[in-house]
Amino acid sequence: MTEAADTAALPIRVAALYQFTRFDDPAALQGPLAKLCCAQGVKGTLLLAREGINGTIAGSDEGIAAVVAHVRALPGCAGLDVKYARAAEQPFYRMKVRLKREIVTMGQPDIDPLASVGTYVAPEDWNDLIADPNTIVIDTRNDYEVAAGTFRGAIDPHTKSFRDFPEWFRAHREELLGRGEAPPKVAMFCTGGIRCEKSTAFLKSEGIEAVFHLKGGILNYLEKVPEAQSLWEGECFVFDQRVTVGHGLAPGSYELCHACRRPVSVEDRRSPRYEAGVSCAACFDERTDADRERYRERQRQESFAATRGEPHVGKVYPAAEDAED
């Protein structure tokens, strides 16, 4: 059996979705959506704001289909694009439908992806664009996400939060684009596409016209582009218990440090500073001995719950594309 067939046979369906639209009263949508998710046994996080909906949910095929149909019936959501994957176990422990100011937080209130956005590039055409020597490729994700994997030759802004992206770009604009009359094309990408809706809209507001972004994000690319043709290196960080995925959206090799929420590779786990559930090399100096003792106690409680076949209620994974909040 192939890896693709193995993945297809996994029992849990994971759906990552977003839609920029205009909700006059997102609070009125919250209750019915949460009720449906719970009735269908679906878990995860969905964010509602006046600018639209975003999130990742998981459950049975039937449950996910019911929730997706409900979302597509909301104003402006008929064309909702959903990226599906499979998981061996439920990657979330609860269901949350939250009201937010933004469905992905950039902190630029005048940016409207419905009014202006970059040119979408299909995964099948992405390699040609980023291989063009007149294209600069920017990874719009945060530093810990880039550390797990990125496209060959992509620029890493080393941002801690998506809110930092506008300041980073303004500070490095001349370095990136030069002063010539024919500036390079700018190609940007993120996990599922939503951050690039705002980052490309931001660049266009800054007067940059030749702006492109990967339609459906890295997840869409890893699903559709064969590994033998791929320019992706490493794994893609996702904001749930899977931690990372690889080509074909197969589960990756990373684990999550529950002290700092950073991905931890197989090599990282060999560090003497790594202790499951307690610390990793990246966060060891950021925490005190008292912090680590609290984490050990939490880890003991989680292990005890696992022996009884119960999820530990304190273990919460943020929604995809919600790491900035």
Residues taking part in catalysis? 190
Residues composing the chain: 325
Residue pointed to by tokens 């320019």? 231
